[in-house]
Amino acid sequence: MSSSHSNASFSAQDILDRCPNLIYIYDLVEQRNAYANREIATVLGYSVAEIQAMGATIFIELVHPDDLPAIGVHQQRIAAASDDDTYTIEYRMRHKAGDWRWLVSRDAVFSRTPTGSVQQYIGVVDDQTEKRATLEWAQRALQLNPMLVYVYDLIEQRNIYANAELGQVLGFDTDELQAMGAQMLSQLMHPDDLAELPNTQQRIAAAGDEDTVGTTYRMRHKNGSWVWLQDNVRVFVRSANGAVRQYLGAIQDVTFRKQEQEERDQLQAQVISAQQAALRELSTPLIPVSDNVLVMPLIGTIDSQRAQMVMESLLEGVAENNASTVILDITGVQVVDTQVASALIRSAQAVKLLGATVIITGIRPEVAQTLVHLGADLSSMVTRGTLQSGIAYALNS
């Protein structure tokens, strides 16, 4: 069996020029670039010849003024480095087109002088401009987010990131919050909500990566009022064993919304109370026909709630009007069953305890048969067939 091998050979220059990363060699003694591969044209827009022509002024001409001091410190570290040391630095250089490029360079000793001092170092440069722009965009989006976004570490038991200070929401400055330290939650969170915090963290620890754990709690503002916060939490980082290490939360101040809801609830309660009062007056009307005689005409269905209202209205009416006789007219009650019969009897007994008499009117033949069949004891009440005859009886008695 025979095999063929390529006879092509590549020089070190070929390999360096074909490398997709910018590679350069800087001479500390001559203070200039001794070498740069062709990738420099992609990163900075200058040819190798243009870069070398800048000589010792390359850093002054191209490096951002704010980053020049760091470059100086970086070169001092390399000058004192061993051959195995590697140092990384991030800085900005101006592109030929005028914009700034964010570069990360990993540098190491390349050659030494006969006396052993570092003469040249070699660097491999990675253009981080697009990544940096994306990161800055994300950071700006977080900073402008109207919600407080944070990352909490369950192991360290502290916030490791926040796009704003919780103090801005609660009225405390940074020093005041730092002074509280680990006692911040116990000092500021409402006791009822603080008691629920362990349960909330257990829910987070058991959550899936796509789950959102929502919770609402109160924190004390510096002025003493309670601020309602709505917190939506998702798993952010897991440990090697799969346990939740960090979670991401987004907090929104919902105090105004809570106050609006409470006001709506109060208003609704007032409306319901007014409706019930109106319904009571309509369903249990008391009509005075003389100084001491009252008539209550009942129409429709009598359930347990309305039966209770009938009794209360009768007792209040007798007490307020000092009535001696109350006429219950059931002409408009279509169905008289055990419940209705029991309600009539209980009402009559209650009114009798106040010293008044109850007259039942409007008992139709089928109603009379029902009452007899049910075995209703109406002996404590006077019964009449019509409301007219009931009123005549009351006025003449």
More confident residue, 184 or 225: 225
pLDDT band at 277 (very low <50, low <70, confident <90, very high): low
Identify the pLDDT of residue 179: 75
Is 272 among the domain residues? no
- What are the phi and psi torsion angles at 360 (to 5°)? -95, 125
Identify the pLDDT of residue 186: 84
At 221, is the secondary structure helix, strand, or coil? coil
Residues in a beta bridge with 121: 26, 109
**62 and 94 together in one domain:** yes
What tens digit of pLDDT does each residue of 339-378 get?
777 777 788 888 888 888 889 888 878 777 777 777 767 7
**286 and 248 together in one domain:** no
Is 276 among the domain residues? no
**253 and 295 together in one domain:** no
Is 269 among the domain residues? no
CATH number at residue 109: 3.30.450.20
Identify the pLDDT of residue 82: 94
At 6, is the secondary structure helix, strand, or coil? coil
Identify the pLDDT of residue 55: 81
**24 and 114 together in one domain:** yes
Domain edge (last residue) among 60, 94, 128: 128
Q: What is the model's pTM?
A: 0.41
Give the tokens for residue 212.
């959102």
Q: What is the DSSP string of 29-70?
A: TTTEEEEE-THHHHHHS--HHHHHHHGGGHHHHHB-GGGHHH
d(CA 139, CA 233): 19
Domain edge (last residue) among 128, 159, 178: 128
More confident residue, 10 or 123: 123
pLDDT band at 146 (very low <50, low <70, confident <90, very high): low
pLDDT band at 161 (very low <50, low <70, confident <90, very high): confident
Domain that holds residue 53: 12-128
What tens digit of pLDDT does each residue of 286-336 get?
888 888 898 888 877 777 777 778 888 888 888 888 889 989 888 887 777
Place of tokens 């009798």: 352
What tens digit of pLDDT does each residue of 38-76 get?
888 889 998 888 888 888 788 888 999 999 999 999 999
Is 5 among the domain residues? no
Number of domains the chain is built from? 3
Is 101 among the domain residues? yes
Q: What is the DSSP string of 132-172?
A: HHHHHHHHHHHHH-SSEEEEEETTTTEEEEESS-HHHHHT-
Is 286 among the domain residues? yes
At a CB cut-off of 8 Å and minimum separation 6, what does 378 contact?
344, 345, 360, 371
Give the tokens for residue 15.
């390999």
At 209, is the secondary structure helix, strand, or coil? coil
**238 and 210 together in one domain:** yes
pLDDT of 121 strictly over 90: yes
**73 and 24 together in one domain:** yes
**252 and 299 together in one domain:** no
Identify the pLDDT of residue 64: 93
**93 and 156 together in one domain:** no
β-strands 293-299, 325-332 pairing: parallel
CATH number at residue 313: 3.30.750.24
How far is the first Cα of the chain from the last one, in angstroms, to the nearest whole number? Answer: 136
More confident residue, 279 or 394: 394
- The count of other CB atoms within 10 Å of the CB of residue 92 is 18
**174 and 117 together in one domain:** no
**54 and 98 together in one domain:** yes
Q: Is 373 left (phi over 0), alpha (psi -120 to 50) or beta?
A: alpha
**152 and 183 together in one domain:** yes
- Separation in Å, CA 29 to CA 67, 72, 87, 94, 120: 21, 14, 19, 24, 8
Is 275 among the domain residues? no
**82 and 184 together in one domain:** no
What tens digit of pLDDT does each residue of 249-264 get?
888 888 888 877 777 8
